[in-house]
Amino acid sequence: MANIAFIGTGVMGAPMARHLAAAGHDVTVYNRTRGKAEATGLAVADTPAAAAAGKDAVITCVGNDDDLAQVTLGTDGAFAAMRGDAVFVDHTTVSAAIARRLAAARALSVDAPVSGGQAGAENGTLSIMCGGSAAAMARAEPILGAYAARIVHVGAAGAGQTTKMVNQIAIAGVLQGVSEALRFAQASELDLAKVFEAISGGAAQSWQMVNRWQSMGEDRFDFGFAVDWMRKDLGLALDEAKRNGAVLPVAALVDQFYAEVQKMGGARQDTSALVRRLPK
């Protein structure tokens, strides 16, 4: 079992940290809002550096590039206190640029964004896409197994983050298609349950259709992955596309559709709230 620091105990990080403790690891947590750290029931450190000192592994799950830089490289950041042989794992969805920057600072680093949302974190069934060296992965993978159903080493530093961008690009297009299909079915005065039964077993089937068709039809959006987070993620993908030359017309368009949903008051609603901007 390992001695682990977990930095960032929000809706994703807190259950992940608890899974590590349940697996027998010795876990110390840090969160900018101390009360959220204390709510985990685990040992709490006063700073990222204090959490990281002497640990075998340091794991982060924070908000954005600036937050990640602060808890790793900033004053009282974790990197200054980490042992040379300790592995660093970041679960934040951030830019590939900062993932590469942190890997340059610490060879044993893994950028490891996740898919599966809050439910996946709570149930320990996350999918994790990882970038980093083989040596870093060898150290990280046994630890990540405490809360993951799937762990894939995609490539070098930054590859985990760019794979997460692929994930979000695909989701954006699918959700727009499901939204349009749902509204078309409603305009045609079809029984949505029967339509779902008819098409969900064929080529139209997707995770979004299976898990969101009914709730979208009932205008229920107060759960799941928030629109604000999706806009952040799509922004990262669009920025990376400028660097690598990829063309993302659908992702760019859906990003603007999500901006409309934000203006409609849907910033914290599930990404399936995309359907709200289409008239019934």
Q: Which residues contact 85 (CB under 8 A, 6 or more apart)?
A: 108
- Are the CB atoms for 61 and 19 separated by under 8 Å? no
- The one catalytic residue among 36, 164, 232, 280: 164
Beta strand spans in 108-162 (E): 109-111, 114-115, 126-132, 148-155
Q: Which residues contact 84 (CB under 8 A, 6 or more apart)?
A: none
Q: Which residues contact 180 (CB under 8 A, 6 or more apart)?
A: 278
Q: What is the CA radius of gyration of the chain?
A: 20
5, β-bridge pairs: 28, 58
90, β-bridge pairs: 60, 111
How far apart (Å, rounded) are the C-alpha atoms in residues 253 and 276?
16
DSSP character for 214? H
Helices 96-105 and 159-187: crossing angle, nearest 10°?
A: 160
At which residue do the structure tokens 């900033």 appear?
Answer: 74
Q: Please confirm, yes or no, whether 194 is among the known catalytic residues.
A: no
The set of catalytic residues is: 164
